Amino acid sequence: MSIQFEYIDGRRYQTSMPYFAPVDETEIIRLDLEDTMLRLWWGNSFGSPMAERLNGEGTKVLDVGCGAGSWMCDLAIRYPRTLFVGLDIAPMFPGENPPNAAFLECNILEKLPFPDNTFDFVHQRMLSGGITQKQWENHIIKELVRMTKPTGYVEFVEADSAFYSSGKVTRRISNACKYYNSLKRHAESKGQCGFIGTHIKGILENTQQVTNITHDVKDIVLGNRAGKSGEMALQNILEMLKSLRPALSKSMEITNNHFDALVETFMRETSVYETIWRVHRVYACKIDTPV
Protein backbone atom coordinates (compact mmCIF):
# COMPACT_ATOMS: atom_id res chain seq x y z
CA MET A 1 0.00 0.00 0.00
CA SER A 2 1.22 3.53 -0.67
CA ILE A 3 0.88 5.82 2.29
CA GLN A 4 -0.30 9.44 2.21
CA PHE A 5 1.27 12.37 4.07
CA GLU A 6 0.26 15.81 5.30
CA TYR A 7 2.46 18.64 6.64
CA ILE A 8 1.54 20.47 9.85
CA ASP A 9 3.82 23.12 11.41
CA GLY A 10 6.70 21.88 9.26
CA ARG A 11 6.37 18.23 10.36
CA ARG A 12 5.37 15.39 8.04
CA TYR A 13 2.60 13.06 9.28
CA GLN A 14 1.24 10.02 7.50
CA THR A 15 -2.52 10.02 7.15
CA SER A 16 -3.20 6.51 5.89
CA MET A 17 -2.83 4.71 9.24
CA PRO A 18 -3.83 5.40 12.85
CA TYR A 19 -0.16 5.69 13.91
CA PHE A 20 0.37 9.19 15.34
CA ALA A 21 4.07 10.12 15.18
CA PRO A 22 5.61 12.08 12.30
CA VAL A 23 7.72 10.51 9.56
CA ASP A 24 10.64 12.90 9.09
CA GLU A 25 14.28 13.64 9.96
CA THR A 26 13.38 15.04 13.41
CA GLU A 27 11.53 11.82 14.26
CA ILE A 28 14.52 9.75 13.08
CA ILE A 29 16.73 11.69 15.52
CA ARG A 30 14.18 11.04 18.32
CA LEU A 31 14.09 7.31 17.53
CA ASP A 32 17.90 7.16 17.65
CA LEU A 33 17.81 8.92 21.03
CA GLU A 34 15.17 6.49 22.31
CA ASP A 35 17.25 3.53 21.13
CA THR A 36 20.36 4.77 22.98
CA MET A 37 18.28 5.53 26.08
CA LEU A 38 16.68 2.07 26.16
CA ARG A 39 20.05 0.37 25.73
CA LEU A 40 21.39 2.42 28.64
CA TRP A 41 18.40 1.52 30.87
CA TRP A 42 18.42 -2.21 30.25
CA GLY A 43 22.20 -2.43 29.93
CA ASN A 44 21.71 -4.41 26.68
CA SER A 45 19.80 -4.37 23.37
CA PHE A 46 17.60 -7.43 24.05
CA GLY A 47 16.61 -9.72 26.91
CA SER A 48 16.28 -13.00 25.01
CA PRO A 49 19.26 -15.37 25.34
CA MET A 50 20.23 -14.90 21.70
CA ALA A 51 23.83 -13.60 21.84
CA GLU A 52 25.44 -16.95 21.03
CA ARG A 53 23.15 -17.62 18.05
CA LEU A 54 23.66 -14.09 16.74
CA ASN A 55 27.39 -14.77 16.69
CA GLY A 56 26.88 -18.01 14.76
CA GLU A 57 26.26 -18.61 11.03
CA GLY A 58 22.91 -18.30 9.26
CA THR A 59 20.86 -16.73 12.05
CA LYS A 60 17.89 -14.62 10.87
CA VAL A 61 16.33 -11.72 12.79
CA LEU A 62 13.12 -9.82 12.03
CA ASP A 63 12.45 -6.35 13.50
CA VAL A 64 8.75 -5.51 13.17
CA GLY A 65 7.85 -1.79 13.03
CA CYS A 66 11.56 -1.04 12.83
CA GLY A 67 11.18 2.74 12.27
CA ALA A 68 14.55 4.23 11.35
CA GLY A 69 16.25 0.87 11.92
CA SER A 70 18.24 2.15 14.92
CA TRP A 71 17.97 -1.14 16.87
CA MET A 72 18.73 -3.49 14.01
CA CYS A 73 21.50 -1.49 12.30
CA ASP A 74 23.43 -1.35 15.57
CA LEU A 75 23.05 -5.13 15.94
CA ALA A 76 23.80 -5.81 12.26
CA ILE A 77 27.19 -4.17 12.76
CA ARG A 78 27.83 -6.09 15.98
CA TYR A 79 26.73 -9.43 14.47
CA PRO A 80 27.90 -9.38 10.82
CA ARG A 81 27.16 -13.09 10.21
CA THR A 82 23.46 -12.69 11.05
CA LEU A 83 20.84 -11.51 8.53
CA PHE A 84 18.52 -8.71 9.77
CA VAL A 85 15.21 -7.76 8.14
CA GLY A 86 13.24 -4.68 9.20
CA LEU A 87 9.57 -4.02 8.39
CA ASP A 88 7.71 -0.75 8.63
CA ILE A 89 4.73 0.91 7.01
CA ALA A 90 6.44 4.32 6.93
CA PRO A 91 9.74 4.50 5.06
CA MET A 92 12.27 6.05 7.45
CA PHE A 93 14.90 3.47 6.63
CA PRO A 94 18.55 4.57 6.63
CA GLY A 95 19.98 5.49 3.22
CA GLU A 96 23.04 3.39 3.86
CA ASN A 97 22.58 0.21 5.81
CA PRO A 98 24.98 -2.60 6.78
CA PRO A 99 25.25 -5.31 4.06
CA ASN A 100 23.51 -7.87 6.29
CA ALA A 101 20.46 -5.61 6.88
CA ALA A 102 17.42 -5.27 4.57
CA PHE A 103 14.24 -3.22 4.88
CA LEU A 104 10.75 -3.84 3.59
CA GLU A 105 7.75 -1.52 3.52
CA CYS A 106 4.74 -3.38 4.84
CA ASN A 107 1.72 -3.16 7.09
CA ILE A 108 1.95 -5.47 10.06
CA LEU A 109 -1.83 -5.51 10.40
CA GLU A 110 -1.83 -7.77 7.35
CA LYS A 111 -0.38 -11.24 6.93
CA LEU A 112 3.38 -10.78 6.71
CA PRO A 113 5.24 -12.08 3.65
CA PHE A 114 7.28 -14.80 5.38
CA PRO A 115 6.56 -18.51 5.82
CA ASP A 116 6.03 -20.06 9.25
CA ASN A 117 9.18 -20.71 11.34
CA THR A 118 11.48 -18.39 9.33
CA PHE A 119 13.29 -16.32 11.96
CA ASP A 120 15.46 -17.26 14.93
CA PHE A 121 14.57 -13.99 16.66
CA VAL A 122 11.54 -11.74 16.11
CA HIS A 123 11.67 -8.35 17.80
CA GLN A 124 9.10 -5.59 18.07
CA ARG A 125 9.39 -2.33 19.99
CA MET A 126 7.23 0.71 20.82
CA LEU A 127 4.31 0.06 18.50
CA SER A 128 1.45 0.59 20.91
CA GLY A 129 0.61 4.01 19.40
CA GLY A 130 -0.97 2.42 16.35
CA ILE A 131 -2.50 -0.87 17.43
CA THR A 132 -5.77 -1.80 19.14
CA GLN A 133 -6.07 -4.39 21.92
CA LYS A 134 -8.01 -6.70 19.54
CA GLN A 135 -5.32 -6.41 16.85
CA TRP A 136 -2.67 -7.39 19.40
CA GLU A 137 -4.70 -10.37 20.57
CA ASN A 138 -6.14 -11.61 17.28
CA HIS A 139 -3.32 -10.89 14.86
CA ILE A 140 0.02 -9.30 15.80
CA ILE A 141 1.27 -11.56 18.57
CA LYS A 142 0.09 -14.73 16.76
CA GLU A 143 1.74 -13.52 13.54
CA LEU A 144 5.07 -12.83 15.24
CA VAL A 145 5.03 -16.24 16.94
CA ARG A 146 4.10 -17.89 13.61
CA MET A 147 7.24 -16.53 11.91
CA THR A 148 9.53 -17.50 14.82
CA LYS A 149 11.41 -20.81 14.49
CA PRO A 150 10.89 -23.44 17.19
CA THR A 151 13.51 -22.78 19.95
CA GLY A 152 13.76 -19.22 18.60
CA TYR A 153 12.70 -16.16 20.62
CA VAL A 154 10.04 -13.50 20.22
CA GLU A 155 10.52 -10.22 22.12
CA PHE A 156 8.35 -7.14 22.74
CA VAL A 157 9.21 -3.77 24.29
CA GLU A 158 6.29 -1.43 25.05
CA ALA A 159 5.88 1.65 27.27
CA ASP A 160 2.75 2.57 29.24
CA SER A 161 0.97 5.66 27.90
CA ALA A 162 0.72 7.26 31.32
CA PHE A 163 3.16 8.58 33.86
CA TYR A 164 3.32 7.45 37.48
CA SER A 165 3.83 9.79 40.41
CA SER A 166 2.66 12.77 38.41
CA GLY A 167 1.45 16.35 38.94
CA LYS A 168 -1.81 17.90 37.77
CA VAL A 169 -0.58 19.20 34.43
CA THR A 170 1.22 15.92 33.68
CA ARG A 171 -2.08 14.10 34.26
CA ARG A 172 -3.89 16.60 32.04
CA ILE A 173 -1.44 15.96 29.20
CA SER A 174 -1.64 12.15 29.72
CA ASN A 175 -5.44 12.30 29.57
CA ALA A 176 -5.32 14.43 26.45
CA CYS A 177 -3.18 11.72 24.81
CA LYS A 178 -5.86 9.14 25.68
CA TYR A 179 -8.69 11.32 24.31
CA TYR A 180 -6.63 12.16 21.25
CA ASN A 181 -6.55 8.46 20.40
CA SER A 182 -10.31 8.27 20.40
CA LEU A 183 -10.73 11.56 18.54
CA LYS A 184 -8.56 10.68 15.61
CA ARG A 185 -10.09 10.47 12.19
CA HIS A 186 -9.58 6.71 11.99
CA ALA A 187 -12.45 4.83 13.54
CA GLU A 188 -10.13 1.88 14.05
CA SER A 189 -7.84 3.91 16.28
CA LYS A 190 -10.52 3.72 18.99
CA GLY A 191 -9.48 0.98 21.34
CA GLN A 192 -5.76 1.52 20.86
CA CYS A 193 -4.14 0.01 23.85
CA GLY A 194 -1.65 2.25 25.64
CA PHE A 195 -0.97 -0.43 28.25
CA ILE A 196 -0.34 -3.47 26.08
CA GLY A 197 2.95 -4.12 27.92
CA THR A 198 0.94 -5.46 30.87
CA HIS A 199 -1.08 -7.86 28.66
CA ILE A 200 1.56 -9.34 26.33
CA LYS A 201 2.55 -12.17 28.70
CA GLY A 202 -1.08 -13.36 28.96
CA ILE A 203 -1.63 -13.15 25.21
CA LEU A 204 1.57 -15.12 24.61
CA GLU A 205 0.46 -17.77 27.13
CA ASN A 206 -2.85 -18.11 25.28
CA THR A 207 -1.06 -19.00 22.03
CA GLN A 208 0.18 -22.19 23.77
CA GLN A 209 3.15 -22.03 21.41
CA VAL A 210 5.76 -20.47 23.68
CA THR A 211 7.51 -21.27 26.92
CA ASN A 212 9.89 -19.57 29.38
CA ILE A 213 8.03 -16.24 29.23
CA THR A 214 9.92 -13.43 30.98
CA HIS A 215 8.28 -10.08 31.78
CA ASP A 216 10.69 -7.37 32.95
CA VAL A 217 9.46 -3.92 34.00
CA LYS A 218 11.69 -0.86 34.10
CA ASP A 219 10.63 2.33 35.88
CA ILE A 220 12.68 5.36 35.00
CA VAL A 221 12.52 8.65 36.89
CA LEU A 222 12.34 11.40 34.29
CA GLY A 223 15.05 14.06 34.47
CA ASN A 224 18.56 14.36 35.81
CA ARG A 225 17.87 12.63 39.15
CA ALA A 226 18.17 9.35 37.25
CA GLY A 227 21.40 10.48 35.59
CA LYS A 228 22.03 10.34 31.85
CA SER A 229 19.25 7.85 31.06
CA GLY A 230 16.67 9.95 33.01
CA GLU A 231 17.73 13.07 31.12
CA MET A 232 17.47 11.23 27.82
CA ALA A 233 14.04 9.84 28.78
CA LEU A 234 12.74 13.34 29.55
CA GLN A 235 14.21 14.68 26.31
CA ASN A 236 12.53 11.83 24.43
CA ILE A 237 9.12 12.60 26.00
CA LEU A 238 9.51 16.32 25.22
CA GLU A 239 10.28 15.52 21.58
CA MET A 240 7.21 13.27 21.45
CA LEU A 241 5.00 15.99 22.97
CA LYS A 242 6.34 18.51 20.45
CA SER A 243 5.38 16.22 17.61
CA LEU A 244 1.89 15.72 19.08
CA ARG A 245 1.36 19.44 19.63
CA PRO A 246 -0.91 20.13 16.63
CA ALA A 247 -3.22 17.25 17.52
CA LEU A 248 -3.16 17.65 21.30
CA SER A 249 -3.70 21.41 21.37
CA LYS A 250 -6.66 20.86 19.02
CA SER A 251 -8.21 18.12 21.13
CA MET A 252 -7.55 20.12 24.35
CA GLU A 253 -9.06 23.19 22.62
CA ILE A 254 -6.10 25.39 23.53
CA THR A 255 -3.63 27.42 21.48
CA ASN A 256 -0.16 26.16 20.59
CA ASN A 257 1.31 28.75 22.98
CA HIS A 258 -0.87 27.51 25.81
CA PHE A 259 0.21 23.94 25.02
CA ASP A 260 3.89 24.99 25.14
CA ALA A 261 3.28 26.60 28.56
CA LEU A 262 1.73 23.35 29.82
CA VAL A 263 4.76 21.42 28.59
CA GLU A 264 7.02 23.84 30.57
CA THR A 265 4.95 23.10 33.69
CA PHE A 266 5.07 19.37 32.92
CA MET A 267 8.89 19.61 32.95
CA ARG A 268 8.89 21.33 36.34
CA GLU A 269 6.40 18.80 37.72
CA THR A 270 8.52 15.83 36.66
CA SER A 271 11.30 17.13 38.85
CA VAL A 272 9.03 17.89 41.86
CA TYR A 273 7.09 14.59 41.73
CA GLU A 274 9.94 12.41 40.44
CA THR A 275 7.62 11.29 37.67
CA ILE A 276 8.10 7.78 36.36
CA TRP A 277 7.87 6.37 32.84
CA ARG A 278 7.34 2.59 32.72
CA VAL A 279 8.59 0.27 30.00
CA HIS A 280 7.84 -3.46 29.69
CA ARG A 281 10.05 -6.04 28.02
CA VAL A 282 8.52 -9.44 27.42
CA TYR A 283 10.23 -12.36 25.70
CA ALA A 284 9.53 -16.03 25.20
CA CYS A 285 10.89 -19.14 23.50
CA LYS A 286 8.81 -20.86 20.79
CA ILE A 287 8.06 -24.46 21.74
CA ASP A 288 9.96 -27.09 19.79
CA THR A 289 7.08 -29.30 18.60
CA PRO A 290 8.14 -32.73 17.33
CA VAL A 291 6.94 -33.48 13.77
Ligand X SMILES: C[S@@+](CC[C@H](N)C(=O)[O-])C[C@H]1O[C@@H](n2cnc3c(N)ncnc32)[C@H](O)[C@@H]1O
Give yes or no for residue 197 binding ligand X (CB under 6 A). Answer: no
Q: What is the DSSP letter of 132?
A: B
Tell whether residue 86 is a contact of ligand X (CB under 6 A). no
Under the binding rule (CB under 6 A), the answer on residue 89 touching ligand X is: yes
Torsion of CA 98, 102, 108, 110, to 10 degrees: 180
Phi, psi of 47 (to 5 degrees): -95, -30
Residues 165-184 binding ligand X (CB under 6 A) are: none
What is the signed CA dihedral for 284, 240, 219, 52, rounded to 10 degrees? 40
* Cβ closest to ligand X, residue 19 vs residue 79: 19
Q: In the complex, what is the shortest distance from the CB of residue 97 to ligand X, in angstroms, rounded to a whole number?
A: 14
> Any residues with CB less than 8 A from the CB of 131 and at least 6 apart, and which?
109, 140, 192, 193, 196
- Please give the angle made by the CA atoms of 199, 145 and 54, to the nearest 5 degrees: 110
Q: Which of 24, 88, 158, 269: binder of ligand X (CB under 6 A)?
A: 88
3-state secondary structure of 150: strand
Q: Which region, judged by CB under 6 A, interacts with ligand X, from 87-95, 144-152, 163-171, 262-270?
A: 87-95
The alpha carbon of 51 is separated from its chain's Cα centroid by a whole number of angstroms, namely 22
Interacting residue with ligand X among 40, 83, 104, 109 (CB under 6 A):
109
**From candidates 11, 60, 125, 280, binder to ligand X by CB under 6 A:** 125
Which residue of 90, 196, 244, 282 would you call a contact of ligand X, by CB under 6 A? 90
Of 22, 46, 62, 65, the residue at the interface with ligand X (CB under 6 A) is 65
Map the footprint of ligand X across residues 24-43, applying CB under 6 A. Answer: 31, 34-35
Residues near 256 by beta carbon (within 8 Å), at least 6 away in sequence: 9, 245, 246, 249
- Indicate the residue among 98 and 269 with the shorter CB distance to ligand X: 98
Rounded Cα distance between 33 and 79, Å, is 21
* Phi, psi for 256 (deg, rounded to 5): -60, -40
Contact (Cβ atoms closer than 8 angstroms) between residue 257 and residue 192? no
**What does the alpha-carbon distance between residue 183 and residue 179 come to, in Å, rounded to a whole number?**
6
User: What mask, x for binding ligand X by CB under 6 A, covers residues 128 to 167?
Assistant: --x-------------------------------------
If the CB atoms of residues 53 and 125 are measured against ligand X, the closer one turns out to be 125
Least distance to ligand X from the beta carbon of 167, Å?
25
Among 61, 66, 122, 234, binds ligand X (CB under 6 A): 66
Task: Give the interface with ligand X as residue ranges (CB under 6 A).
Answer: 17, 19, 21, 31, 34-35, 65-67, 70-71, 88-90, 92, 107-109, 125-127, 130
